[in-house]
Amino acid sequence: MNSLELKYGCNPNQKPARVFMQDGSDLPIEVLNGRPGYINLLDALNGFQLVKELKAATGLPAATSFKHVSPAGAAIGLPLSDTLKKAFWVGKKELSPLACAYARARGADRMSSYGDFISLSDVCDASTASLISPEVSDGIIAPGYTDEALTILKAKRKGGYLIMQIDPDYVPAEIEHKDVYGVTFEQGRNNYKIDSSLFGNIVTENKNIPESALRDMIISLITLKYTQSNSVCYAYDGQAIGIGAGQQSRIHCNRLAGSKADTFFLRQHEKVLNLKFKKGIGRANRDNAIDVYLSEYWEDLLADGAWQETFAERPEPLTTEEKKAWLSSFNGVSLGSDAFFPFSDNIERASKSGVKYIVQPGGSIRDDLVIDACNKYGMAMAFTGMRLFHH
């Protein structure tokens, strides 16, 4: 099939809409269930590139959770601790490596992953499908599905869940095109390969980067390669834990990513794990409630009794001092930036969220100030010399 009709374009008024192959060849994708939209396809094709590269770079199954053409989370299939299983609401059952990757990708930023599009590097198995089943999601793309997984997924959204299959061996043309306001842009595809060979130029006094940090730095860069710029990604324990995307200022990207990383860690605090919700409160409402519980507005909700709408009992506040103490127990976080850091304020912010390892292109006239800031905190920083803008 050379062409695929879509529901509509970016917005319902943008009709007709379709995707097609300009060279007349068959599309590398097949719709197994549901009907895709324009943004669904953008998420699917960007997301699959991301997980395919993660799998190639690490040798492990990978998953990503996309929203509006940027990832909310991305991860590889490392086993989950009991704490992460509880924080991600996956129960105590044994999970396949692919299911672990999906749980991590979805659990990185559950607020942003609401209504996401999922991309998997491997054939979707029943273990992974069973985790996807209760989540609010628009669709999924993978190289294939087991019969059991397909049955589980086809039951979502009253049978309308979008399920797509992609040819994992498809190789796109080297030149790509994009139309904006009737003008066609042409450029070579970004085939820049991201692996451990990039980290040879360590510019800080601390030059010790362990294998686990190298892995996380790779994850951060591959994630950034498919994130709307400007972008910054915090990674830890085999997954992205905070992604700041599409901000005009890099420090705002960094603050956003760091704030999300802090929330990721705080969700693992004993007080959060033991929150008592009312019966019938859905996952999305629980996510919203946890976000508010961790916010500066929580004391106001305690005062006016609004907590009773969600919680079965009055939650004990997580104090500012407790938050600081908990966050200080996490370190060894890796941070990637899609372009250079022009000011040392980015390093100051990163230090507050346990960042120990940084990878960025380098090339700013203030590189010396940024390096000095890293040395101040004992961080190791590598320059790659390669920018990763994505638009």
Instruction: Please identify every residue annotated as catalytic.
Output: 67-68, 230, 391
From start to end of the chain, where are the E strands? 3-5, 18-20, 29-33, 62-67, 70-76, 116-120, 137-142, 162-166, 175-180, 183-188, 231-236, 239-245, 333-337, 355-360, 380-383
DSSP string, 214-283: HHHHHHHHHHHHTSPSSEEEEEETTEEEEEEES-SSHHHHHHHHHHHHHHHHHTTSHHHHT--BPTT--H
Q: Which two tokens stand for residue 108?
A: 């990185």
CA–CA separation, 235 and 77 (whole Å):
14
DSSP string, 126-155: HHHHHHHTTS-EEEEEES-B-HHHHHHHHT
CA–CA separation, 253 and 349 (whole Å):
11
Three-state SS string over 276-296 comes to: CECCCCCHHHHHHHHHHHCCC
Q: Which of 39, 45, 3 is nearest to 23 (CA)?
A: 3
CA–CA separation, 255 and 242 (whole Å):
10
CA–CA separation, 63 and 77 (whole Å):
8
CA–CA separation, 102 and 131 (whole Å):
8
User: Residue 309 gets which letter from DSSP?
Assistant: G
Q: Which of 166, 167, 163 is nearest to 35 (CA)?
A: 163
Q: Which one-letter amino acid corresponds to residue 387?
A: R
SS3 116: strand
